[in-house]
Amino acid sequence: MIINHLSRFQSFPSTLTQFFSSKTRHQQFIIHCTLLSKSFSTNLLTKTPNKNPSTLPQPISSESPELSDVQISIDKLFLPPDTDVSSFTAPLSSRVLKGSNIVLSKYASDSQVVSAEFIKSSVKTEDCPSDGLPEFALVGRSNVGKSSLLNSLVRRKRLALTSKKPGKTQCINHFKINDSWYLVDLPGYGYAAAPQELRTDWDKFTKDYFLNRQTLVSVFLLIDASIPAKPIDLQYASWLGKNQIPMTLVFTKCDKRKKKKNGGKRPEENVQDFQDLIRHFFQTAPPWIMTSSVTNQGRDEILLHISQLRNYWLKH
């Protein structure tokens, strides 16, 4: 596979990477985490990061029979910047966001979406909003569910128009959230039916946006978890990593169960397979999270993850 020809790289620039202390980095701790979960509600409307780790919102457990406990070694967890695990009073496993490898940090707050509005579409990075607000970009293979996820995050059915026909999104679309940050919907890649010239333009201005947008905090790379890993997704993940662009893997369509056409594998098995394929090409584990726009799985967890990255970015 093409992944075998990729060079090693680190997934996050040093300012957005948090390593374990030398004392714990090499210890092979194993924690039990819940891989699948129902959405849980949060009420995080404070305007400043929470400084007391013991009072941070905790993931709520569920008795759903679909939940499965998995083992995640501590070196495969994503610790947000400026996170000291030795300061935690509760077990580390209780601070891992459900359906992810993301540890909840002291910067998690302001996660509830109160307002959302479309601002503008652009085809050049220099034409994007110039107000300096932090941005989180959604990108993925055509028809992976970007617009559906965006609508789920803001609890609006048609903020971003969805379509069963791939290639609906053709510009850099900015949506302002709570008048304080942006979700950015980008054109999908891999849409073979689009004219080559158009696909080249999409690829050019999207990558220019990634490389030159100073207010971009993180890219959310959407991967369809209902099917096996696609080489084009592995290529895109490698490109982001090689260019030191902060990335979170967002696995979509996790509500879809076994299907004969995908080899009978469950979404969580496809998630694990994808991570196994990219594991040797990242020096630190990229953050990942499982989602479903149908059941809203992962919605609140993504917003918490965004809040802690955003608050850290604003402070630094």
C-beta separation of 105 from 82 below 8 A: yes
Q: Residue range 181-198: average pLDDT? A: 74
Q: 124-173 pLDDT, tens per residue?
A: 899 999 999 999 999 999 889 888 899 899 988 756 544 344 444 578 99
CA distance 250 to 299: 11
- Give me Rg for the CA atoms of the chain: 18
Q: Residue range 106-131: average pLDDT? A: 91
SS3 of residue 231 by DSSP: helix
Asked whether residue 93 carries a pLDDT value surpassing 60, the answer given is yes
| Cα within 13 Å of Cα(80), Cβ side | 22
Q: Which DSSP symbol is given to 239? A: H
Type and span of the H or E element at 302: helix 299-315
Q: Which residue has the higher pLDDT, 46 or 178?
A: 178
Asked whether residue 97 carries a pLDDT value surpassing 90, the answer given is yes
Q: What is the pLDDT of residue 17?
A: 38
The dotted CATH code for 2-315 is 3.40.50.300
Asked whether residue 37 carries a pLDDT value surpassing 60, the answer given is no
Q: Residue range 241-253: average pLDDT? A: 93
Q: Residue range 81-110: average pLDDT? A: 88
| CA nearest to 68, candidates 273, 254, 260, 303 | 254
Mean pLDDT for the chain overall: 75
C-beta separation of 46 from 304 below 8 A: no
Structural domain boundaries of the chain?
2-315
Q: Residue range 58-86: average pLDDT? A: 64
Q: What is the pLDDT of residue 44?
A: 33
